[in-house]
Chain A
Amino acid sequence: MTTTVFRPYSESDALRSDRSAGDRLRHRHKVRDAIRKNIADIVAEESIIGQSRDKIIKVPIRGIREYRFIFGENEPGVGTGDGKTEPGQVVGDAAQDGNGIGSAGNRPGVDYYETDITLEELVDIMFEDLELPDLERKKLREIQAESARKRKGFRKVGVRAHLDKKRTAMSRLRRRIATRNVPPVEGHASRFPFHRDDLKYRRLVADLRPQSNAVVLCMMDTSGSMDTMKKYLARSFFFMLYQFVRTRYNNVEVVFIAHDTRAREVSEEEFFTKGESGGTMISSAYHKALEVIQGRYHPSLWNIYAFHCSDGDNWPHDNPATLATARELTTLCNLVGYGEIKPLNSGSYGDSLLELFDELDADNFHALMIENKEDIWPSFRMFLSRERTPETAD
């Protein structure tokens, strides 16, 4: 045996370029691609609706498993017990398998097929490839607003809180090196204090940015025929609309309007949970929306998105009024949508308003049918694509 060699820890080796950086980056791109491919599944998951933006979501990923020939999951394994193991005893979660010898890295259970991302990130990915036009097209609707103060350079005077300690220390150091050959002042041989000239403060300037406002009007039929499933589908759609509008505007407000034969403005909670009974008059909701717009969201200052979900079971005599008010909405809003929610197998195939809305010939109006949760994402894309058409005319 020859002698042993010890190579001590070397700071510079540790700082040397990180060789895994490229591989990690490519892996992350793959994760992102996989998420994008599964986005319809993910947004259809109940858990992400109505959550705050830093909520962490578990996203199933199929794209980045490393496939090879392996035995099926039903193959038995062997473990060690505490001496009291009995047949039939539960010894763990199958999902967390990975302790078995030889199975590590071999069984699908070990490969992680879930990743955690924040809702914020998911929303970014969701809208990343939507290739939508910049929706802020009406310059008039932009207000200059001081939304933040940003850093811009340094200066020698300022308040204590803005002192840049690193720069200050560097400046002192520089002075010290420059004065190395000057004999020290009597009595101060060991000290080299800071000088006022060393102090560096961060300079902050107001950041003026155009601020754009948007309001999302969520209207929903809360009549007796709207059951939980239908509300859930509507909710998914509203969620996406809201998240989308948020990525495009600085200041976004939401208005919830619930209606049966009469319309009321309600809180989000009430909107999704409270059920009413009775008939349906859709025009009442549109009237209410117009009223809200006139009262609080003047179209010259606000970008307005209105969306209405219903199962299409309207009181027939209301149809002309519905059409008229819908038309009026299209003149005020960027985008108006109607989603008819008819879950498959729900049994309540009543009337449909889709034909009625065919008569409404406005570029920024879109009526669509949602039958199950897989429809939501494609419908949503279709809905937004409507806004592209008037773009050229503008």
Chain B
Amino acid sequence: MSATASWNVKDLEYWDARIREKVEEFGLSCFGQEFEVCDHEQMLGYMAYHGMPAHYPHWSFGKSYEKLKTLYDYGVSGLPYEMVINANPALAYLMRDNSLCLQVLTIAHVYGHNDFFRNNFMFRDTRPELALNHFKLRAERVRGYAEDPSIGLQAVEQVLDAAHALSMQCRHHTAIRKLTHHEQQEQAAADPPRDPFERIHKRREHQIPDLNKIPLEPEEDILLFIAEHNEYLEDWQRDLLRIAHEEAQYFIPQMETKIMNEGWASYWHHQIMNSLDLPEALHIEFLVHHNQVIRPHPGGLNPYYLGFKLWHDIQRRYDEPTEAELARNGAPDKSGIDKLFEVRETDRDVSFLRRFLTEEMMREMDLFEYVRKGDKMVVSQVSDEDHWERVKDTLLRNVGMNATPVIRILDADHGHNRNLYLKHEHDGRDLQQEYLEKTLRYLYQLWGRQVLFETLVQDKSVTYTYDSDGIARQAG
């Protein structure tokens, strides 16, 4: 595979020009694109720091690096062919040791991601033109605190440890605008909306809202809330919380669209490569790599596979619907390709799968649900007629941010004692106990006062409290 000599930058530029012709012909609309050729050690470094050329230091990235390197050294997992950053211009890395065919394939794949970043609604607010710079500035701020003799690296990492633990606890529905505190107050103070059915049922008594309550509405952005409402934090601590929050906000759209995005890039590299009239040797090598990328992972879920299959299926349903589909859905109102472009703009994994993962596709891919039994994973349901919906539900719950529990701050002045009251919105899934307890410690660390946490454990309501005496747990 060491093919350093078999291609040079001129070759890449030649293929890039040809690929870009196709990109435009197919109607993809991309940001500008930059490629950096790197070696495998640099690639490991980029992966550990989420691909960012500049990123603040934290020991967990060292852990991530060691883990990736171990897996790579032992051949458990190879390195990705590509790594693309949602930025304008988009930035992607090419591994020096890859063959020419892999480079061409990667370049084609990268344009798919690039187009997706630019057009999918989830990425609207990520400000790609500033992304790299923002990461760099944040890194400089964190380094500044670490080098400040009155703060130091250890104190910085302590806050970051806690911030990382909570960084995914933020608003799940980013499409709905968050109201300012003042707007929330106005909304609460407004007269209750007229109930059109007030004559036929008993009217709920209107309670005068407490406009001084904080927060007025249950709050999901935990880091931001603490940064704003814990007045005992130092400015640098507040800033670190905001930094962790901003980074999470930047990466969440990628987590929310993993299947769509990888499927989309795979769909397009496939289209582009097939339209390029590659020399036979290159084409055969391409097919081998392509099949490796989109092959199903037995027992697991390969997002490339799932996404690739679904995009193709959507197109087929609009271009060549079966009799049964015609009967069920009527004649398609647009061409397959138009539908694809519409979906790539308006969906995220959850809605994408909910809308387009059909019973037939589930059966074709043999999707099944598994549960842990002892130290084994055992199939609990397969996608047969009676259970495919359940398997699908389970899948939807594990996709994107659905894999993160919803936790809301209900009261920041619980018992008029500035204690923090949180509630886990239980959806049938219990929290992992050890992780819950350890994370509460971080909450306590950042809040500085007693933290109360309400959840369900095996269908029973349980409230944890964390304060200077440590953790306590009581029913009810």
Measured CB to CB, the residues of A under 8 A from B are: 1-9, 13-14, 18-20, 22-28, 30, 64-95, 97-103, 106, 108, 112
Contact = CB atoms under 8 A, between A and B. Distances in A.
Contacts of B38: 9, 13-14
Given A4-B16, A93-B375, A23 B398 contact: no
B113 to A, nearest CB: 14
Given A67-B442, A88-B378, A23 B65 contact: yes
A69 B407 contact: yes
B377 A93 contact: yes
A180 to B, nearest CB: 31
Interface string B414-435: 0000000000100001111111
B379 A89 contact: yes
Interface stretch (B320-328, B330-338, B360-368): B360-368
Contacts of B366: 80-85
Contacts of A101: 258-259, 301, 303, 306, 398-399
Closest A-B pairs by Cβ, 10 of them: A99-B300, A23-B62, A24-B62, A27-B62, A67-B438, A102-B403, A81-B366, A2-B32, A26-B59, A9-B37
A92 B376 contact: yes
B279 to A, nearest CB: 22
Interface of B: 9, 12-13, 16, 20, 23-24, 29-39, 41-42, 45, 48-49, 57-63, 65-67, 89, 96, 157, 161, 164-169, 255, 258-259, 296-303, 305-306, 365-372, 374-382, 391, 394-395, 397-400, 402-405, 407, 424, 429-436, 438-439, 442
B57 A4 contact: no
Contacts, number: 264
A97 B429 CA distance: 18
Nearest to B405: A69
A27 B67 CA distance: 11
A78 B378 contact: no
Contacts of A26: 59, 62, 157
B62 A72 contact: no
Given A7-B37, A8-B37, A94-B377, A77 B42 contact: no
8 contacts: A1-B33, A4-B13, A9-B38, A13-B38, A23-B65, A69-B168, A79-B370, A108-B432
B376 to A, nearest CB: 5
Interface centre among A22, A72, A102 (most CB of B within 10 A): A102
Contacts of A76: 369-371, 380, 394
A80 B45 CA distance: 31
Contacts of A90: 376-379
Contacts of A8: 9, 37
A378 to B, nearest CB: 24
Nearest to A69: B405
A67 B368 contact: no
A75 B32 CA distance: 42
B431 A70 contact: yes
A376 to B, nearest CB: 26
A78 B392 CA distance: 8
Contacts of B439: 67-69
A4 B30 CA distance: 11
A100 B37 contact: no
Given A4-B32, A68-B168, A72-B433, A103 B398 contact: yes
B379 A100 contact: no
Given A78-B391, A78-B394, A23 B61 contact: yes
Nearest to A19: B45
Contact of B435 (A24, A68, A91): A68
A74 B374 CA distance: 10
B435 A1 contact: no
A352 B365 CA distance: 69
A8 B35 CA distance: 8
B394 A79 contact: no
Given A69-B439, A72-B429, A91 B32 contact: no
A206 B397 CA distance: 69
Given A66-B60, A90-B377, A80 B296 contact: yes
A19 B391 CA distance: 43
Contact of A14 (B42, B66, B400): B42
A23 to B, nearest CB: 3
A25 B157 CA distance: 14
Given A9-B39, A20-B48, A77-B394, A106 B404 contact: yes
B368 A81 contact: yes
A93 B372 CA distance: 9
B375 A95 contact: yes
B255 A25 contact: no
Contact of A80 (B31, B59, B367): B367
A70 B432 contact: yes
Contacts of B296: 80, 82
Contact of B371 (A4, A69, A74, A112): A74
Given A9-B37, A93-B377, A99-B300, A23 B57 contact: yes
B32 A70 contact: no
Contacts of B66: 24, 27-28
A99 B403 contact: no
A2 B89 CA distance: 9
